[in-house]
Chain A
């Protein structure tokens, strides 16, 4: 267990490093126009914490953990729902110059 745990640490660090690198590359190209939608979108994406929260709430091992997990699921789902919806709402507003101008 301890040995495989150690190996996993390294693969997790690899994933972390590569994902950060990809993040830097992709986000540097985001137009400044869209920085507010970018923030609300990454917000919704980081609500991926829902994955961990669902596991805790669903395992139902102790009441304490289940309650915390349930609150965490609610908080994450709030971010997912409001984050994606508001991003789309904002993006709909960005229009090119109409044909009449």
Chain B
């Protein structure tokens, strides 16, 4: 009876998880998706607590309390810190999988219950779990800028990393052949932890969207492996949903950068081309906030291109003020969202939504590019590589072939930037020296604030 009840709860949970993701397809039904997810999780936990093997609830209750106390502040971080939080939660997911795998191995070893299949599943679970754990911690550290965001490289990096991974996998295989050789187990754990660190340190901030998606996928696959270990189909289902989601997101991110997985993971982007950046100094035209306000006010169509700089400066609310002033004058304002703008998939959309910008105004790259030649003013806020025309024609550029937002094709371009220092990838951006570009030097938040003030001052009282 109990068994049946558990299985029914699990079935219900699996179904609810699928619906949860299905409802997340569009903003209108998305919150229902969260409710379904919560219900599914509640059913899963209820079903699990019915297991007769559970003899004490004390430790579970303490852990649930600790997790709740830790989880609530983590859900209240500012939206600019969402990428870090996401990376951190991948780390927790990986940790849980690694620990459960370790515990199972330790329990089954004296019982002689380690079949080759179980041992193999545990090895995969532990490998994926622990490498996701340290890899995600590193990613979170880079995003929080506790660890240098620039790629850190050393000689023979890929060779060393792959050798370490190879040893870990070989130890896993050996363990499957002889599960009682328990000394191999700490070797696998140690190498997985180390490999996670080494995998992420050569990766630069601009590649974070891909890396976070990939770690998302690994965390899901670690849960799948746990399902195989524990013979639990709910774990397999939910883990597979997470794994496929992370995989799809990584593919989208890679495509948006015209790069392959191997290139992201082993390419150490932003390292090599420092020498190429020293060309002849082209003249730059700069303007003031008042000039910018003037140009914006006399435009009929404005497209804003936000980038990571917007998040860094926390300038989304000032941008919203400018948006309000312009739409009040009947000017058509759209936001052009590049898939890899920011530090995780969809980062810009969330920031702009926080500033109450209606989501119909957020337009994907492919759709906005058609309109750009008829656009009067493009306002680039903290974006760099995603608007660099070199991606279209300069074969020597490291970003050549990456799809970009054609900001240079608009009648005029205003770009807010701190200084002329090259962007993240260390590449000169010819958009800034183009004939129809005016640079607005300064902090994005302060600059947008001044533009908004200038717009309000000039008879913002309406028509």
Measuring CB to CB, which residues of chain A are less than 8 angstroms from any residue of chain B?
A: 2, 5-6, 8-9, 11-12, 15-16, 19-20, 22-24, 26-62, 64-66, 68-98, 101
Q: Are A71 and B63 in contact (CB under 8 A)?
A: yes
Some 13 contacts from A to B, beta carbons below 8 A apart, are: A12-B231, A15-B233, A32-B346, A36-B347, A38-B245, A43-B219, A69-B103, A78-B66, A78-B89, A79-B96, A83-B71, A87-B37, A95-B356
User: What separation, in Å, do the CA atoms of A32 and B242 have in the docked complex?
Assistant: 17
Residue in A55, A78, A84 whose CB lies within 8 Å of B67: A78
In the complex the two chains form, is A55's CB within 8 Å of B230's CB?
A: yes
Contact (Cβ within 8 A) A35 B249: yes
- CB-defined contacts of A48 to chain B, threshold 8 Å: 13, 17, 41, 44, 223, 234-235, 238-239
Partner of B27, one of A26, A34, A101: A34
Which range contains the number of B residues in contact with the other chain? 35 or more
Q: Nearest chain A CB to B308's CB is how many angstroms away?
A: 14
Whether A31 contacts B344 by the Cβ 8 Å rule is: no
Other CB < 8 Å A-B pairs besides A57-B63, A62-B107, A75-B95, 8 of them? A23-B245, A32-B339, A41-B33, A43-B93, A84-B37, A86-B75, A89-B76, A96-B360
| Residues of chain B within 8 A of A19, CB atoms compared | 14, 236-238, 240-241, 244
By CB atoms of chain B within 10 A, which of A48, A49, A52 has the most?
A48
Is B273 positioned at the interface, with any CB of A under 8 Å from its CB? no
Q: Is the CB of A35 within 8 A of B51?
A: no
What's the dominant secondary structure at chain A's contact region?
helix
Residue ID in chain B nearest A47 by CB atoms = B93
Cβ-defined contact, B327 with A23, below 8 A: no
Taking a contact as CB atoms under 8 Å apart, the answer to whether B216 and A27 are in contact is no
- B82/A72 in contact, CB under 8 A: no
**Which of B59, B71, B236 makes the CB contact (< 8 A) with A70?**
B59
Complex contact B75–A82 (CB within 8 A): yes
CB-based contact B37/A44 at 8 Å: yes
- A43 with B24: CB separation less than 8 A: no
Complex Cα spacing A83 to B70, Å? 12
Q: Which residues of B have CB within 8 Å of A88?
A: 31, 34
Closest chain A residue, CB of each to CB of B100: A52
Cβ B350 vs Cβ A37 within 8 A? yes
SS class of chain B's interface: helix, strand, loop or mixed? helix
A49 to B238, CA, bound (A): 9
Confirm or deny: B85 has a beta carbon within 8 angstroms of a beta carbon on chain A: yes
Complex CA gap A57/B181 in Å reads: 25
Chain B residues with CB under 8 Å of chain A are 13-14, 17-18, 20-22, 24-27, 30-31, 33-34, 37-38, 40-41, 44-45, 48-49, 51, 53-57, 59-60, 62-64, 66-68, 70-72, 74-77, 79, 82, 85-86, 89-90, 92-93, 95-97, 99-100, 102-104, 106-107, 115, 117, 212-213, 216, 219-220, 222-224, 226-246, 248-249, 252, 327, 337, 339, 344-347, 349-350, 353-354, 356, 358-362, 364
Q: Report the minimum CB–CB distance from B198 to chain A (whole Å).
A: 23
Q: Which residues of A contact B222 (CB under 8 A)?
A: 49
